[in-house]
Structure 1
């Protein structure tokens, strides 16, 4: 638009200058040919030349348009495209209305002759899939994918169809290729992550997480945390390791690869330290828990000490009693202290810890442990009363329902 305006301005300036020049001296033109002679002004000759040029341009454009309209090949091609466009619209409407057989025929015809073959083939593939015609659906998607612009969407539809048909491995292979082709495509990445999570392939999902976080930001933090927690558990319980030392070393190697922000997550630390303790790395687990609790307290960490067997219960009790001095009445520390005291066979001390936990927070776990300890000590009366306290606590959580009448 700016170029056109500029040309108009230049033409007007030129016309103005020419007009002023002609006004000063209109000039004289004499044309003689045999018996013919033309006597006129220069301005009139220039005006006629301009009009002839404009007329020539207009006639050329009109002639070209008439030729395009009448030339057989182009007319046939244009007619085919118009028909294909109508078939594409009709096929889409038939698909929406559920007339799948008619829709497929129309869409296939539109894909063969139309201006939008990729769209027609994709819709035809959807129609064939709805009719459980997998072979035709795959063929249509191949046609759509032959256009480089349709490769991604056709591949994504292939993966979706494979998932719908119960073939997650095929979907995963397709999505892996697509994710490498388009590493920033959010729909592909999210679908790929969902497939990996459904297959519980935690190593692959953890490897994919940096790309997911670049695409979606912190919205993928929950998935990342869930994947690493599951991978820690899978590594700690991996079959094929006959001794705890091998699994412990494998677990330590994995911990080095855990993202920094997750290494500061209390739930992640508790899971890792708990597995480490179960595999004979109690000293390392204890140091990790103490270091984290010195920075920030979290009730999920003290129970890790219950799984430590390669540190004496007396030393563990000293650590727990120091925490109790700082946080009197903390149920998590009291219950853990009671269980560690049981390992040390300090029955009275364990009883005191469980009673304190039950009285301070009415903890269901504390009541259960206390009832079991009373029963083991031969005090059935206290065991029954503690058990009744536990039942009363549960009763408040049960829904109100009709109960039988005692008299009946």
Structure 2
């Protein structure tokens, strides 16, 4: 369409010029000292048009020459960007193929040429980390920070993730600083909460709970789980049973029945030999939610008639017939009740489901309680053979 319009304009101008030439509008007489020029008006107009065109071409040529260095630089920059993008694509393809070395090589080769060089450095750092090349990983992260200071948040998140497995304490420091600088950033807070849970820093998590509830964007059940973990860690890290008891009494009835919280309370109570009412609490908790850790401690309680606890635990077999931990606890309770035959069968079934050193030890102790030292020695021998047997 544009070409048609241009052609039409050229034809119109040509027709106008031809018409002017045919009309012969008059003559032009120019004198300068002894010089005199006589010509037609049409010729003068044609000459002016030619001069205008020449002037236009000269200006355009001068501008082209003047801008040539910039045009060349822009051309080279575009070419480098294309090379960087091609290198990035090859690196990402190598990453998907799990060729970490080739991916790192492709990504870092053109990192300085790319418009998105920070992505080159960060992905290359991940590839170096996959190869256990921590020195190269740290080098790429430092270069990213140096060249792209405005991307500090993203770089910090990637660095923390790469350090989480080998140096979680340092990752926590990085995330703490990022959270301090960006207190309302959801991803930073979620990552920070995750590393604090991994490090079991319950005090810091407790301080953050109001912010977690307001800003983190975590689901309600996840927040409830964090609260439960914080309470359980408080009980686990209490310095005395009186402190444990104070924390326990401050909980509501529902919180006390959470398995994570109950386990820590039971462990502390057993260590302090405060066993009165402990089995009843475990029974209530197991009725609300099955947890094999609580089943394990239920069998270790030695307070009150073991036979009553044995009968209650036997009822759990209907719903959990494949629980090695339940059979272990049943064996212990039967042994306490001096029901030797039942105890033997329960221990054997537990070992059949999951051979564990502790189960062998409890089985042998039961024989010792019977006075069957020879049978106890055989169980210890079986334990040694089972543990020395190489895995298939």
Instruction: Specify the TM-score bucket, using the shorter chain as the normaliser.
Output: 0.5 to 0.7
Distance 1:15 1:252, change over 3 A: same
Choose the corresponding residue for 2:344, options 384, 388, 393: 384
Residue 301 of structure 2 aligns with which residue?
342
Q: How does 1:6-405 map to 2 (within 5 A)?
A: 28-33=26-31, 34=34, 36-41=36-41, 44-58=43-57, 116=80, 152=118, 156=122, 159=125, 163=129, 168=134, 171-172=137-138, 175=141, 178=144, 181-183=149-151, 186=154, 189-201=157-169, 202-204=171-173, 206-207=175-176, 226-232=194-200, 235=201, 251-257=202-208, 259-260=212-213, 261=218, 265=222, 267-280=225-238, 281-283=243-245, 286=248, 290=252, 293=255, 300-309=260-269, 312-314=274-276, 316=278, 319-320=281-282, 327=287, 331-332=290-291, 335=294, 339=298, 342=301, 344-362=303-321, 363-391=323-351, 393=353
Secondary structure, aligned partner of 2:38: strand
CA offset digits 1:141-189 (Å, max 9, x no partner): 89976x8968746855885687578563674476267458143775774
Deviation at 1:30, TM superposition (A): 2.4
For residues 334 and 231 of structure 1, the distance between their equivalents in structure 2, rounded to whole angstroms, comes to 21
Secondary structure, aligned partner of 1:38: strand
List runs of 5+ in structure 1 lacking aligned partners.
86-113, 132-136, 236-250, 396-408
CA offset digits 1:349-370 (Å, max 9, x no partner): 4323422333442232221111
For residues 347 and 382 of structure 1, the distance between their equivalents in structure 2, rounded to whole angstroms, comes to 14
Deviation at 1:57, TM superposition (A): 3.1
Distance 1:56 1:277, change over 3 A: closer
CA offset digits 1:97-119 (Å, max 9, x no partner): xxxxxxxxxxxxxxxxx974996
Distance 1:353 1:288, change over 3 A: farther
CA offset digits 1:222-270 (Å, max 9, x no partner): x6664232111xx5xxxxxxxxxxxxxxx43442235334896355445
- Asked if structure 1 preserves the Cα contact closer than 8 Å seen for 2:331 and 2:347, the reply is yes
TM-score normalised by structure 2 residue count: 0.53
Distance 1:286 1:388, change over 3 A: same
For residues 194 and 342 of structure 1, the distance between their equivalents in structure 2, rounded to whole angstroms, comes to 44
Residue 368 of structure 2 aligns with which residue?
none
- Asked if structure 1 preserves the Cα contact closer than 8 Å seen for 2:128 and 2:134, the reply is yes
TM-score normalised by structure 1 residue count: 0.51
- Asked if structure 2 preserves the Cα contact closer than 8 Å seen for 1:338 and 1:350, the reply is no
Secondary structure, aligned partner of 1:361: coil
Distance 1:381 1:311, change over 3 A: closer
Across the aligned residues of Structure 1 and Structure 2, the Cα RMSD in angstroms comes to 6.0
Secondary structure, aligned partner of 1:31: strand
For residues 66 and 219 of structure 2, the distance between their equivalents in structure 1, rounded to whole angstroms, comes to 72
For residues 276 and 45 of structure 2, the distance between their equivalents in structure 1, rounded to whole angstroms, comes to 115
- Asked if structure 1 preserves the Cα contact closer than 8 Å seen for 2:156 and 2:174, the reply is no
- Asked if structure 2 preserves the Cα contact closer than 8 Å seen for 1:156 and 1:175, the reply is yes
CA offset digits 1:301-334 (Å, max 9, x no partner): 543432242795445556555557xx47x54399
Secondary structure, aligned partner of 1:197: coil
Distance 1:291 1:368, change over 3 A: same
Distance 1:287 1:45, change over 3 A: farther
Secondary structure, aligned partner of 1:227: helix
For residues 24 and 183 of structure 2, the distance between their equivalents in structure 1, rounded to whole angstroms, comes to 78
Deviation at 1:49, TM superposition (A): 0.4
Secondary structure, aligned partner of 1:51: helix
- Asked if structure 2 preserves the Cα contact closer than 8 Å seen for 1:117 and 1:144, the reply is no
